[in-house]
Chain A
Amino acid sequence: MDGSDRHSHPWAVAVWAIVGLIVSAIVGVWALGVPGKDPVGAAVLTTQIAFRDTTDFLRFGPIDGQPDWEAASMILHDANAESGASLIELHGCGSCHTIPGIPRAHGSVGPSLASFRDQAYVAGVLPNRPGDLVEWLMNPTVHAPQTAMPDLGITEDEARDMVAYLYTLQAKP
């Protein structure tokens, strides 16, 4: 028994090393795919996202296992819609968009965001899902090079809060 344990030990190390390398490679490739000029920062960010998504999965279970999986797919765990509303005001989104609930947000440069939750696509280029919308808010010009919407330097945490607010906007059922 002792002998076999001692023999299996290097194997376990090797297996875990390979798994680690594969994970690092995936994170690395993923990080390079994230727009921006800071691969290290992107790798850290990607790891954080992976960690958060994993813990969300462990805490709340698979989305299609929930009774209302359509609603569940729009939830951003730990995102704060209230701070999202403040951020939307702070970044000046209302200069271009009409956004219910945001003071002085009556712009008509871009589309109205009233009932944004019901919209199928984001700017006609990305599916309207939490992850894609977060990506869009952070780097609109990457996804639509001809867009008039500027990159506002919004961080991922800010974007998550803002998306949480945007997904409260829906037509009355």
Chain B
Amino acid sequence: MTSTLDQFGSQTTYAEAGLGAAKTLLLTNGMVAIGIAIFIFVMAITVFAWRFNGGGRSWWIVGGGIVFPLVTLLALTVVSATTLRAITNDAGPENPVIEVTGHQYWWDVVHDPNMRALRDANEVILPLDTPVTLRLRSNDVIHSFWVPSISGKMDMIPGRINELTVTATKKGRFRGQCAEFCGLSHPLMAFEVVVLPVDDYAAYLDSLESEARDAVTPQQRRGKEVFLTSGCTACHAVRGVSENGRLGPDLTRVGARASLGAGMWRMNLGNLAGWIADVGDMKPGAQMPSYNHLTGPDLRAVSTWLESLK
């Protein structure tokens, strides 16, 4: 229980759950096997050279020092390039498209950006066994999108759209991480990937069209009021409540996510209240100001309301 990682299935290529990761794993294992074979071979001829101090050394230098490395490295290059191509190039025009935009230090996620433009944040939901085209963009500096269990990494570069096609082959929850140093809280910029069966993915997309859950209890209603009157709406959108904020993550289903602060803390009332009261302590360099001017009851109310948005 030392990190939020234990609530995700994994963040390692060795627990592959996607075509890209499977191919990368095969390449890795192959390279390790060949490397071990070469190491044993080199040790063997070293022993041979010590024991039998004979002639014919120039042949060994040309063969073992130039030809063999050349052939081996060329072969490895071809195999790596083929794998990379296989990972990144199974894009099809019919693939579902998900646009992910890196911000300092969170992820904006838009499903089907051309047609329905369904917005969520910090959690990428993928359909099972379906090639999905990820359109990767950045809003400020260079980030890198990396979900080791599912595929290789791809940089997100300001002013560019990089495409990465991924196919998840196992249901579950996986952790992704920004893999390009992007500022003070780069290590605190993670995200969740949830792989759902195709039907559930369609239902999830439909849910992104509906408005946020109603505030029911008096405390939740008060929380909504605090949210609307304290300036939260300048940066955050909650569908059906206030939809103009685009500088921060969409909070329409913030309580439904398993984590808070882009994959870094467990989603619960305590962390949520602590986050609102002192963002700078939990995530140095984040754009959000600390809301430590709210009274205690108001802080609890707004946290309770946000936690209820599922």
Contact = CB atoms under 8 A, between A and B. Distances in A.
A93 to B, nearest CB: 6
A96 B277 contact: yes
Interface residues of A, number: 24
Contact of A96 (B270, B294, B295): B270
A145 B3 CA distance: 32
A148 B296 CA distance: 3
Contacts of A95: 265, 270-271, 273-275, 278, 282
B175 to A, nearest CB: 16
A103 B3 contact: yes
Contacts of A109: 273-274, 277-278, 281, 292
A106 interface: yes
Interface in A80-111: 86, 89-96, 103, 106-109
Contacts of A147: 296
Given A90-B1, A103-B2, A108-B281, A152 B296 contact: no
B2 to A, nearest CB: 5
B304 interface: yes
A19 B274 CA distance: 49
B111 interface: no
Contacts of A145: 297
Interface string B222-266: 000000000000000000000000000000000000000000011
A153 to B, nearest CB: 8
B224 to A, nearest CB: 16
Contact of B271 (A92, A108, A153): A92
Nearest to B290: A109
Interface of A: 86, 89-96, 103, 106-109, 141, 145-153
Contacts of B294: 148
B1 A92 contact: no
Contacts of A92: 265-266, 268-271, 274
B167 interface: no
9 contacts: A91-B268, A95-B274, A106-B281, A109-B281, A109-B292, A146-B296, A148-B300, A150-B303, A150-B304
A103 B6 CA distance: 14
B166 interface: no
B128 interface: no
A60 to B, nearest CB: 31
B132 interface: no
Contacts of A90: 1, 266
A147 B265 CA distance: 23
A90 B3 CA distance: 10
B299 interface: yes
A161 to B, nearest CB: 13
B302 to A, nearest CB: 11
Contacts of B268: 91-92, 152
Contacts of B3: 103
Contact of A152 (B265, B269, B292, B295): B269
A152 B297 contact: no
Contacts of A86: 1
B4 to A, nearest CB: 10
Given A103-B2, A146-B295, 9 more contacts: A92-B265, A95-B274, A96-B273, A106-B281, A107-B282, A108-B278, A141-B300, A148-B300, A149-B296
